[in-house]
Structure 1
C-alpha cells in the first residue's frame, strides 16, 4: 500500500508543476548597446500642413505630447497619406544594430493609430509599425503584441539588426515580438500618432518621455 501511495505522489507532483503559470522574466534590452546623444535638432516634426505645430504638439516637463484628428489634412499638400503628428528621430541608419527606447502613454479612446515605427525598407515604406486598437498594441493590423495599455506609462524598446534582417519588440523589458525586417534602406525611428487607413478614432493622442537611441 505504501508503494502504491508513493507512486501516485510521484505522478501527481509533475502534473502539479505543469499547471503552474509560465514565468516571464524582465531583461534590460539595452545591455551591450551604446547611447547615441540626442539634442533638440535630433527631432524633425510632421503635422497637418494647414495648422501650426503648437496646435498638434507640445513639450512640457519632459513629455512630448502628439495629437491629431481623423479629418486633419496630411503632412504636405498633394499627399494621399493619413493625418499624423510625429517626430522623426535622427540619426538615420543603413546598417548595424540600432535600438529605440521610450516610455509611451496612450489615453483611453485613441484607436487605429500608429504610435511608433521604423521608417524605410527595401520593400515598401516602413519596416515596422506598432498600432493601438482599443488599448491593445498590434504589429501593423495583425498580431497582437500587448494588451490593456490605455492610461498608463509603458516602456517600448525596438531593436533592429539590419545586417541580420531581424526585429525585436520589448514592452516593459519583456520580449513580445520578433520578426524578419523588410530589407535595408534609409532607416529611422518615428513616434507620435499616425492614423490608420481604416478604423481610426476621431481623436488620436500619444505621449512620450525619456526617448533614447542606442547602437552597437
Structure 2
C-alpha cells in the first residue's frame, strides 16, 4: 500500500473516532439508576418556606434565589442558593453521569446551575456557571453561548478512573477537563450565587437522570 494511501486511511479512521466522541447519545453504554423524590434533597434560604424559592409543576423544577437571601443554614459563610442535592448516589469510583434539560431565563447571570461536589483542596470538581447568556466551566472557559430562554440538554460525565469530566450540550461534546481529585462526589443542580451575579437568579430543570457504568 502506498504511503499516501495509508495516511488517508489513518485520517479517515481518526475522523470517525472523533465523530464518535463528539456527537451522538452520551448515555450509550450507561445504565440509569432508580430515582424517587426521596433522592432530591432541596437546599434553600433557611429563613423562608421552600415554596418561596422552589416549585415542581408538570415535571419542571423551577429554582430561584435573590442576592439578598440568607444561606441554606444559619451560620453558613456561603452565598445564597436554591439547589437540589441528589442523595443516595455519592460515588468514589467508576463512571457516573448527570443528565437533565435546563432552561435559564434572560437576565440570570453570575450563578452556578450545576455542580459535581467533592474535590481535593476545594469544594467542587466541576461547576457550570451562567454568565451573560453563556454557560461556562467556572469562570475560565465558555461551554455554550446563547442559552437564554430555551431548553437545552445537559450531560456531564465524571470518569473517576481517567480523572476526567466531559460535558455535552444537546448531545455534542463541548468540554473535556481534568477533575479535581477527591474521594467522594455527588451531583447538584439549581442556582448558587457566584461572582458578578444578577439580583434574581433562576434555572428550570426537567428529565433529571443519574446514570453509571
When the two structures are superposed, what TM-score results if normalisation uses the length of structure 1?
0.87
Where in structure 1 do 4 or more consecutive aligned residues deviate above 6 Å? none
- Find the partner of 1:145 among 143, 146, 149: 143
Q: Quote the residue 1:48 is aligned against.
A: 45
Tell which structure's C-alpha radius of gyration is larger.
1
Secondary structure at the counterpart of residue 92 of structure 1? coil
CA distance in 2, matches of 1:123, 1:181: 12
RMSD across aligned positions (CA): 1.3
Q: Which residue matches 1:199?
A: 196
Task: Trace 1:93-104 onto structure 2 (pairs within 5 A).
Answer: 93-104=91-102
- Which digits, 9 at most, give the CA deviation of each residue in 1:114-154, with x for residues without a partner? 00000011221000000101110111011011000000000
Q: Verify the 8 A CA contact 1:162 1:184 in the aligned structure 2.
A: no
CA apart distance, 1:69: 0.1
Q: Where do 1:1-216 residues align within 5 Å?
A: 26-90=23-87, 91-196=89-194, 198-216=195-213
How many residues matched? Answer: 193
Listed as ranges, the gaps of 5+ residues in structure 2 are 1-18
Which residue in 2 is equivalent to 1:15? none
- Distance (Å, rounded) in 1 between the aligned partners of 2:164 and 2:23: 20
In structure 2, C-alpha distance between the alignment counterparts of 1:125 and 1:184, rounded to whole Å: 9
Could you tell me which runs of 5 or more consecutive residues in structure 1 were left unpaired when the two chains were aligned: 1-22
